[in-house]
A and B are shown apart, each in its own frame.
Chain A
Amino acid sequence: MKLHLHPRVSTVDPAHRLSVWVGAFQTTQAPAISWTLNGVQVQPATTRAITSARTGSMLPDPNIERAFTGVFEFSGLSADTFYQITASDNNVSADLLTRTLPDRVPTGLDNFFNVLLVSCFHAEEDGGGQASRIASSLSGPLRPHLTILSGDQVYLDLPTLQNFPNQIDWLADKFEADYVRNWSETTGYAGVLRAAPSVALPDDHEYWNNFPHVSPVIQNSFTQTGRDNWTAAAQAAFSAFQTTAPAGSGDPISFDVPPLSFFVADTRTHKDPNQMTTLDQNTRDQISDWVAHVIAGNHFPVLVTGQSLFREAAGLGGNVTDFEMPNYSDYDDLMRKLAELADAGRPLLCLTGDVHWGRVTSVVDLTKFRPAMFEIISSPTALVTSVGFDQLHQFTSAIGGFFGAIDPFPRHASADAAPIFLASNALSGRFACQQMHAQKGNHLALLRFRQSGGSVELRVVYWPWPEKGPPLPPVELNSITLTPF
């Protein structure tokens, strides 16, 4: 048996509580774990007891070695403080050094609240653990307090050209193996997952490309039974490995690091196959409550989604690649609700991934001529393999290299332009978009927040890494100031 610990955000009082996800791999029964906190034996609260990741029809043989996972919470802690946590069962143990979130975004010159924003990680293209190496190297004043995993932490639908049996136990076994690899190996995502307490949401590859729609490259999605089996197995794996209990799969998560208020919306799990909704009623209700909470408390809202809100609807190509948020009928209502933040003068920060390029966009409210929204995209951490396209891009890049500089990111696309007006169908021409930065290639993004007067200063640093060649320096952008208006 091997034990693994990853810190998770406690959504209630995250400055004084720490959640820890524990995974016990290669075992046939749940371990009986004893815990220490800073060397002292303690008994944390059980948020989700350690259970087999696969159960019922996904586990025809209960005697096979597999993964067990659970979530535990330590309370009564000090804000912004490191803790050494140890979990052990007989002769097997695992250590974790992590820290609580700050109780407020710092003021003063020296301190920042650091948020690591990542998405889209394909382990085979990670250059032998590059993402984990960079995340682990962020130390001292750059060490993240919080990691936001904004989707595609695994690619369950790869390899693209392989047909998967339409058997729920086979699918569950395959998905669990994908998670175990990314969650435990140094060439996986473990370094990113251990960098700071994290909060995660799924995007399509936590299910399959363009979930829940039929995908021409996913044979299992052709039939309702195929889709049902895959969905059940993928959701079980997501619940076991990624949910921040007590929130379950598909549930939104919100927490405050005053004056910031975070809302993490799963924009994938509840997508309607008929494109009527991308959010369920519970999430829509909670967004309404959150908007009211932000306005009443004079908070600075931070909305995390699995897909960008700053996109145009996809055309017919969306059937092959992925539909965008505006393809779903509830997008307009969502944007009208978010516009209430601008009505109240609260500048909105949107964070997302998904698109395989980075971008920073600002939005001016033309009724007030003030910056009303910003969007930061961080994608990909390690670009997924695209059979055929990658080889073509690498070939053309090599040819181009004879005549000029070699492109360090031959497989990566450049950022799309933001729409001229945000959600113009719902909001007309009220919100004008302006691109501030485009980031190409594999990267992690570090968002550094600091209170400055009555505003919040945000410094965005992209940490790119090339697939070949020498390391690249971090790219620090001009500061963004979130100012009430």
Chain B
Amino acid sequence: MLNIISSPAETPNEESFRPEPRVGTENNLKWLARNWPASGKQTKLIMVGGTGQISFRLRVAQSHIRHDLTPSSWSHIMLVDEEKTALEKTTIKEISLNPVNGFGFPPMTNGVKEVTLNEYRNRSRFPNIAILGIPVDLDAVRATLERFKKQRAALDSVDLILRWLGFCWGVAHSPNPLMDGMGIPSAALLDVVLGAVGFDLTPGLESRSSCPEAVWQAARWWRSYYTDQNQTEITGAYCVSHKLMNF
């Protein structure tokens, strides 16, 4: 069990972060279009839970920060960068462990890559999806993220990528990096960047140990923390239709 702090809340936040099932067989883009937040400059994050091998390994690895030790519903999180009218053309910034066009040379950008949202439209590959509204100005986040690309001292994402690939690919005795406080790079990136502009993305976990499951718990369970700290809570919607374990 990883040393994550549990929220004292007794009930989850389902008012401002609400469940929204799919309608029919809509894909992720249509689900997102239906639940896209209205505000303009607010920062938005998208979280997905995938069914591929890498996603499976990541979801199981995060079971250690769940009190019931069951796999997480989430494997990846990304920043909405530039919104386009055609949602599939909306750009996102991410650190993926399975990047669309390969890794290239990650040190150049501290692992950060830009793709379009279209890469995540497939509901079979990514059956779980969430959109999260973060109450900080997107321009500030963008500026910090650009700085992040050149500042490996803040978070060495390349180190995280290699550790997580070793674990995901089952290389030799590679341990679960979370147990050593090494977060999943997609979430650690956003935790560090949002922290730098004044927002606690995962109040229960140290930034560099962050992971999508911790963000999920923050959105669901840490509402009172944000209120106590005079911060606006995380808002948004989610759809969890794929679980690796059913009781």
A residues with CB within 8 A of B: 107-110, 141, 345, 368-371, 451-455, 457, 478-481, 483-485
- The answer to whether B200 and A483 touch across the interface, beta carbons within 8 angstroms, is yes
B residues with CB within 8 A of A: 5-6, 8, 144, 147-148, 151, 153-154, 180-181, 192-201, 203, 205-209, 228-229, 231
Q: List 9 A-B contacts (CB under 8 A).
A: A107-B197, A108-B144, A368-B8, A369-B6, A453-B199, A453-B200, A455-B200, A481-B205, A481-B206
Cβ of B178 to closest chain A Cβ, rounded Å? 12
Instruction: Determine the distance from Cα of A457 to Cα of B198 in the docked complex, in whole angstroms.
Output: 12
Of chain B, the residue at the smallest CB distance from A452 is B195
Chain A residues lying within 8 Å of B192, measured Cβ to Cβ, are 109, 452
Instruction: Determine the distance from Cα of A452 to Cα of B154 in the docked complex, in whole angstroms.
Output: 12
Of chain B, the residue at the smallest CB distance from A368 is B8
- The answer to whether B209 and A478 touch across the interface, beta carbons within 8 angstroms, is yes
- The answer to whether B196 and A478 touch across the interface, beta carbons within 8 angstroms, is no
Chain B residues lying within 8 Å of A453, measured Cβ to Cβ, are 194-195, 198-201, 203, 231
Cβ of A162 to closest chain B Cβ, rounded Å? 49
- The answer to whether B154 and A110 touch across the interface, beta carbons within 8 angstroms, is yes
Instruction: Determine the distance from Cα of A455 to Cα of B194 in the docked complex, in whole angstroms.
Output: 12
Of chain A, the residue at the smallest CB distance from B180 is A478
Cβ of B194 to closest chain A Cβ, rounded Å? 7
| Given A109-B151, A141-B153, A452 contacting B6 (CB threshold 8 A) | no
- The answer to whether B196 and A109 touch across the interface, beta carbons within 8 angstroms, is yes
Cβ of A434 to closest chain B Cβ, rounded Å? 8
Cβ of A114 to closest chain B Cβ, rounded Å? 13
Contact of A107 among B5, B148, B196 (CB under 8 A): B196
Instruction: Determine the distance from Cα of A484 to Cα of B226 in the docked complex, in whole angstroms.
Output: 11
| Given A109-B148, A481-B206, A371 contacting B5 (CB threshold 8 A) | yes
Instruction: Determine the distance from Cα of A46 to Cα of B149 in the docked complex, in whole angstroms.
Output: 48
Of chain B, the residue at the smallest CB distance from A455 is B200
Chain A residues lying within 8 Å of B147, measured Cβ to Cβ, are 108-110
Instruction: Determine the distance from Cα of A484 to Cα of B225 in the docked complex, in whole angstroms.
Output: 9
Of chain A, the residue at the smallest CB distance from B199 is A453
Chain A residues lying within 8 Å of B180, measured Cβ to Cβ, are 478
Given A110-B154, A483-B200, 5 additional A-B pairs, CB 8 A: A108-B196, A109-B147, A455-B195, A478-B208, A479-B206
Of chain A, the residue at the smallest CB distance from B153 is A141
Chain A residues lying within 8 Å of B5, measured Cβ to Cβ, are 369-371, 483, 485
Chain B residues lying within 8 Å of A480, measured Cβ to Cβ, are 206
Contact of A479 among B148, B153, B201, B207 (CB under 8 A): B207
| Given A109-B144, A109-B154, A479 contacting B196 (CB threshold 8 A) | no
Instruction: Determine the distance from Cα of A223 to Cα of B229 in the docked complex, in whole angstroms.
Output: 57
Instruction: Determine the distance from Cα of A452 to Cα of B151 in the docked complex, in whole angstroms.
Output: 16
Chain A residues lying within 8 Å of B209, measured Cβ to Cβ, are 478
Chain A residues lying within 8 Å of B193, measured Cβ to Cβ, are 109
| Given A108-B144, A109-B154, A110-B154, A478 contacting B206 (CB threshold 8 A) | yes
Instruction: Determine the distance from Cα of A480 to Cα of B181 in the docked complex, in whole angstroms.
Output: 11
Cβ of B196 to closest chain A Cβ, rounded Å? 5
Of chain A, the residue at the smallest CB distance from B182 is A478
Instruction: Determine the distance from Cα of A259 to Cα of B193 in the docked complex, in whole angstroms.
Output: 20
| Given A107-B196, A109-B196, A110-B154, A452 contacting B231 (CB threshold 8 A) | no
Instruction: Determine the distance from Cα of A107 to Cα of B193 in the docked complex, in whole angstroms.
Output: 11
Cβ of B112 to closest chain A Cβ, rounded Å? 13
- The answer to whether B207 and A483 touch across the interface, beta carbons within 8 angstroms, is no
Cβ of A216 to closest chain B Cβ, rounded Å? 44
Cβ of B141 to closest chain A Cβ, rounded Å? 12
- The answer to whether A481 and B196 touch across the interface, beta carbons within 8 angstroms, is no
Cβ of B185 to closest chain A Cβ, rounded Å? 16
Cβ of A232 to closest chain B Cβ, rounded Å? 49
- The answer to whether B196 and A454 touch across the interface, beta carbons within 8 angstroms, is no
- The answer to whether A484 and B195 touch across the interface, beta carbons within 8 angstroms, is no
- The answer to whether B8 and A369 touch across the interface, beta carbons within 8 angstroms, is yes
